[in-house]
A = this chain, B = another copy of it.
Amino acid sequence: MSKPATTRFQPPAIDKLPEDIRTRILAVQEKSGFVPNVFLTLAYRPDEFRAFFAYHDALMEKDSGLTKAEREMIVVATSAANQCHYCVIAHGAILRIRAKTPVIADQIAVNYRKADVTPRQRAMLDFAMKVARQAETVDEADSAVLRGHGFSDDDVWDIAAIAAFFSMSNRLANFASLRPNDEFYALGRS
């Protein structure tokens, strides 16, 4: 039997959850075959659950000038910089699936500067890291570099917003010692 999502806050039983939250959790279980622990942990706070996933979906699921794989690259790089177990392992799996390669997630998690990414993606990750680690120094020159790689102003917003959203998410998961489900480690590796 696998270990609990987190030892700090006991998530309620799924059938005790508010209808909309239970529905979302059952949908992800249906699709993935398991319930990612972030759903169970945030369900402890229904209003925060709803806002968190609404924000997540607004950034990660919509149409964008960034592919879904590229957005997951930003998540993995940011989460690695913040040493977030849950986010690196879970989004590493999603990145492997979306990028259709078994190596890119581990490469970005260890050192994105050495990963097999395009120069455009490298610029994207450099900027995401700047937002994640030294946002106080971001200025117009950073956007100019990105435009030189073909990113639109909306793409720049997306990169920054994803790096910022996971700067929050990484801190929540580290605070709660949120444990990645064992299923994530092997997903997308073959």
- Which A residues are closer than 8 A to B by beta carbons? 8-9, 44-45, 47-48, 50-52, 54-55, 57-59, 62, 80, 82-85, 88-89, 92, 102-103, 106-107, 109-111, 113-114, 131-132, 135-140, 143, 153, 157, 160-161, 163-165, 167-172, 174-177, 182, 185-186, 189-190
Contacts and interface: CB of A to CB of B under 8 A. Distances in A.
Contact of A8 (B9, B137, B153, B172): B153
Contacts of A135: 82, 84, 170-171, 174-175
25 contacts: A8-B140, A44-B157, A45-B157, A47-B62, A48-B58, A48-B59, A48-B161, A51-B58, A55-B55, A83-B110, A83-B111, A84-B110, A85-B107, A88-B106, A88-B110, A106-B185, A109-B109, A135-B170, A135-B171, A138-B175, A139-B177, A160-B171, A160-B172, A164-B168, A167-B171
